[in-house]
Structure formats: structure tokens, C-alpha cells
Amino acid sequence: MTISSDDLRQRLAEGVLVADGAMGTVLSTKDLPLPYERANLWQPDLVRSVHELYVAAGAQIIEANTFGANAVKLSQYALEHQATAINTGAVRVARQAAGHAVLVAGAMGPCGKALAPLGAVEQDLARAAFLEQATALLDAGVDLIMLETFNDLDELQMAFDVVRSLDADVPVIAQKVFIEDGDTIRSGLPARVASAVGNWRGVVAVGANCAIGPQRMAEVVQAMADATGCAISAMPTPGLPQRVGSTIRYAVTPAYFGAAARALVQAGASVIGGCCGTGPDHIAEVARALEGMRPVSRVHRSTAVAAVTVLEPTSTTPAVNERSPIASIAATGYLKAVELDVPRGLDMTKVLEGAQAMKSVGVNVVDISDGARARLRMNVVCVAHLVQQHAGVEVMMHFACRDRNLLAVQADLLGAYALGIRNILAVTGDPAMIGDYPAATSVYDVDSVGLIRILRRFNEGIDLAGNSIGRATAFTIAAAFDPLAPDPAKERERLARKADEGAHLLYTQPIFVRKALDEAVEAASRHRLPLVFGLLPLRSSRHSEFMHNEVPGIVIPDEIRTRIAGMADDDARQYGLDVARQFLLDARPITQGVYLMPPFGNHKIAESVLKVLDHPG
């Protein structure tokens, strides 16, 4: 099949095109060695069979198995000299599976490492790699080029310019990665990207793929559609990934994914497929859901970015006792913990004001996450110190193993202690691949169990290697427990190890089901650890469905999701508060604390929920 850019634009104006899902996700179940692009030469029949599954599912565009087939990425496997053969073979098997009715896209991804001057890959080397790959794809006869999963807009433009230098009319779809948080939307980044890329000469569609699930993708699509008249493509993951042992799993069902595709069309997308974690079943549901749908009429409007302010220090921090009172409060009273969101950049106004408000209503500790979902935020040690300094309230500092090697883990913990931070929640951390910089390295020299061991050693006055650190620290060590983990036996075994290594108290994810709470209570009791259970007030049906379907480890009962689905916004928010208050009252007699996670770090919601402890009636 031969199609021009104008031809494809016309098709996208008249109807929605269904693209395929992930190739690597399916091939990962076949016991193939990395990279999967090598299978184009070694096991072409297997690659063809995956394409055929997507064609049978209803895909109208399939991508050749070439996402990582540039010489820079292939050099990690000493395959850089086979780049042309791998790309040519990929197009051949894709074309055989596509027949005459399905378009074949040549997939091109980034180099996999940051380009100079930020990283070590020289610009000329990257350009040469893109040129070699694009030449092979075009010579092999692809119908279009799919540039996808680019985080660096400059690298995306480099790849686009290389393709356009080879062929002035081949259709190109250019997609960037956006991450799973509302700040990305509010800051206007998708709109700015769409406005810029949509003006590149000859681009047929601009869009987003990977890293985020259907609900957040709809928000990105809406922002992009409002900023450009160019067609929009959307290829989400099936929710957020969860690390289970050495594998990554996704929770979103094909049925939910298919239904969510309609929302993507309504937001403005006209090319819809799937990325990491999706398979033929997901695409079959998308094809069924989109049958007969047409792209929506869009209105082009600009996006403004709000200015930020910086809160100046208004008070000094009270002296921090050598040992935090948090563990004793959980052991003898009822611990009230509230998580506050850390904004992007330098503006700490909201979190500092929220911390001050929390202290005024009797909250014992403010939780600060450490780059949750691999999002770029200010260093957690700095944030925790500023909160204690300005608000005079204890902080539970979440500390992730993802970003630090063994030296940095210990160095940062010692620095935190010197700044008066006494409470640490040990977490393994989400993989970098889902965050702001998917090409960044996830370190994981240790996981959360190893981190707890380090903290215990520090409390004994020695480091992990047994060297003296001068004097013993007095860290309060919190551990995480998921009563709804995919592998309950493994989760219980890890909890036992955390307890043996020296954890002082237990935190959970948000819990909505009494059975899950009872299991957490039993697990904590078995190890004689105070339990601080997670509580999340729902704010809308969309929020409820997102948490239930796209966030690992969270289950919201059908009764709650059904009731909130029919409510107006104000009623839904009130219902979410009522559910949270009642669950807190029910949990109070059997738990030792509550870990409240108000949406968007809204401290007023936290205040509203916690009042029920003082006025149960």
C-alpha cells in the first residue's frame, strides 16, 4: 500500500484509525533474549504471528518491530552493524501480515541515552543512527514513519528532520512521552509540544504514547487538541505498571481500555493504539468500541501558564528532639499523618502552607514522597527540611532506592539526619521508565528491605559495611505493606524480612475494602508493628475509576463506584468525604494511625476528614 501525507490526513479527517499495541510486551512472553528487534532475523515467523494477531484484532496500522533498532541502542548488544538488516527484515514480515488493507508504520524510538551535552551520545552519532534506520525503513517500503516514546523534544525533531530529508512526502506521526501527573497538564507542556510539533513541515499527526494510562492520556490529548489543528494520536499504557518480582505488570483490563478509547476520541484523538502492557485483546476492544466513530470537531484555543511565587521563611524550626515521638504516638495513641504533594520546580508555597495548616489542626506528621511515579521533584531531603523548618511539624520522609547507589543512599540518609529528619518510610521506588526521564537509569542497588537494614545499622552506629558513623542515629523506620499485592505470599514474606531488619511501624496504600484492612491489621499484629492505614478521599467518578482500574494495589468496591458514577461533582466530592470519614471511624478501633492522602495535596480535605475523630457524631 502506498499513501501520501495528504491521503493520510484525509483519512484522519474522515474517521478514527486503530493502531496496534505493544510488540515487546507480547514477545516478552516467548522467552526471547533482548533485544526483541533481533527476532526479525532470528525468528521472523514469531514476529509475523504477533502482527497477525493485531490485524485480526482490528488494527488498521501496525508498527514494524523496529522501535529500538537504531545503531546506538543496538550497540548495547553488539548488534549495531546489523541495524539495516534488522529494520529491513522487520518491514518484510510486517508487510506479509498486513496484506493490502492495513498500513505498515516504521517505528523509530530515541537512542535510549541522553544526547550531548546532557548525556554521552554525540549529536552526530545520533543523527547518523536515525539516518541509517530511516533509510532502511523507507527503502523497505513502509507506508508511514511513527516516531514514538521521545522524551527530549530536540531529539524528536532531529529524528523528524532526518526522515523528512530522505522523503518529502512520507507521512510522519510524531509522539512524545508525558508523565502521570496533573502538573504536566496544568503547566501547559502538552499544549506547547502540540503547538510546536504540529507546525513541523509535513507532520501528519502529533501525539503521546507510553508512561500513562487511558484517563491521564485523555487529558493530554485534550490539551494537545486545543493547541493545534493537526491530527492527534494517542497510545496509552494499560494504567500504571507495578513491579512484581523481576517483572512489570499492568492492571487495566482490555474491556476498560477499550471503553476508555471512546474518551480519547472525544478528547480529540483520531489515531488510537496501545503501548507497553497492551496486547491484541486490548486492541480488539478498542476496535469494537470505536467502530463507526468519527473524529470530533475541535476548537483551537491557547493555553496560559500561571506564574509561580516563592514563600519566604516566616519562622524558625523548633529544636528537633534526638528521637522522634512518632513511633511512640503510634504505639500508645493514634497517629495522624497527611501526605502533601511536592510541586514541580522551586515554588514551595502550597506545601509549606499546607504543612502549617496541618500542624494547627493537630496532625502529628506530614508525609513527603520521594519522586513518586519517577516524577522530577525537588530533592526530598531538602523539602522535608524546609517543611520542618517553616512549619515546625514532624516529617515522614519517603526515601526511594531507584535513584541512588549504595554510596548515595547512605550519604543522603546521613545528611537528612544532620538536618533533623528522623522519620523515614523505606520504599523501593517506581522504575524510571514510567517517569519524566524514561532513559534515566534505575539503580536499585538495594530495595526497601535493604534500605531498612541500612537504617537499622545507622541506629546501631555503623554503616552497611560495618564502619562507625561516629554515633548512633535515632531514625524511626516505617515500612510499606500492600494487603492487595498480586503475590500475597511474597508480600507477607517481604514484610517478615522488613520486621526482622528493624521496621518500627507499618504504612499501607489507600484501603477501601474492610477485608483488606483486616488482612493488614493481622499482618501488622503478627509482627507487633503499629499499623498506619492509607486513606484516600475520592473526588469524582473519574477519580474512582482511575484509582480502581489504573493504579496497582487499589481496589474500590463496586458499590462505591456505582453510586459515585451518577453524582454531580459537588455531590461526588461530598460522598467521597463521607466514605472516607466512615471508613476512618470503622478503622480507628483496630489501627494505630491513619495515613491520609488528600487529592492534589489539598489540606482542607484532610482537615475535613480528620474532624470526625474529634466529633464522631
**For the chain, what is the mean pLDDT?**
90
Whether 333 and 458 map to the same domain: the answer is yes
Q: Which region among 95-104, 249-258, 532-541, 569-578 has the lowest average model confidence (pLDDT)?
A: 249-258
- Residue 36 is part of a domain; what is its CATH number? 3.20.20.330
CA dist 409 and 414 (Å) reads 9
Task: Tell me the average pLDDT across 112-129.
Answer: 86
Closest by CA to 269, choosing from 206, 180, 184, 188, is 206
C-alpha cell at 568: 454531580
pLDDT at 48: 97
Number of domains in the chain: 2
Whether 371 and 494 map to the same domain: the answer is yes
Confidence of residue 495 (pLDDT cuts 50, 70, 90): very high
Kindly tell me if the per-residue pLDDT of 2 is higher than 80: no
Domain-embedded: residue 205: yes
Confidence of residue 301 (pLDDT cuts 50, 70, 90): very low
Kindly tell me if the per-residue pLDDT of 312 is higher than 60: no
Domain-embedded: residue 319: no
- Report the range out of 228-237, 346-355, 464-473 with the highest average pLDDT: 228-237
pLDDT at 315: 39
pLDDT at 183: 64
Task: Tell me the average pLDDT across 377-382.
Answer: 92
State the first-to-last Cα distance of the chain, in angstroms, to the nearest integer. 70
Confidence of residue 146 (pLDDT cuts 50, 70, 90): very high
State the residue range of the domain holding 29.
Answer: 5-290
Domain-embedded: residue 586: yes
Closest by CA to 479, choosing from 420, 542, 423, is 423
pLDDT at 246: 64
C-alpha cell at 604: 482542607
CA dist 299 and 390 (Å) reads 45
Whether 227 and 331 map to the same domain: the answer is no
Confidence of residue 468 (pLDDT cuts 50, 70, 90): confident
Whether 457 and 595 map to the same domain: the answer is yes
Kindly tell me if the per-residue pLDDT of 472 is higher than 60: yes
Residue whose grid cell is 560495618: 466
pLDDT at 608: 93
Domain-embedded: residue 233: yes
Kindly tell me if the per-residue pLDDT of 95 is higher than 50: yes
C-alpha cell at 214: 487511558
C-alpha cell at 525: 499484629
DSSP state of 346: T
Domain-embedded: residue 306: no
CA dist 156 and 177 (Å) reads 11
Q: Which helix (H) or strand (E) holds 158?
A: helix 153-166
Whether 336 and 284 map to the same domain: the answer is no
- Whether 214 contacts 247, CB under 8 Å: no
Q: Which region among 71-80, 162-171, 184-193, 408-417 has the lowest average model confidence (pLDDT)?
A: 184-193
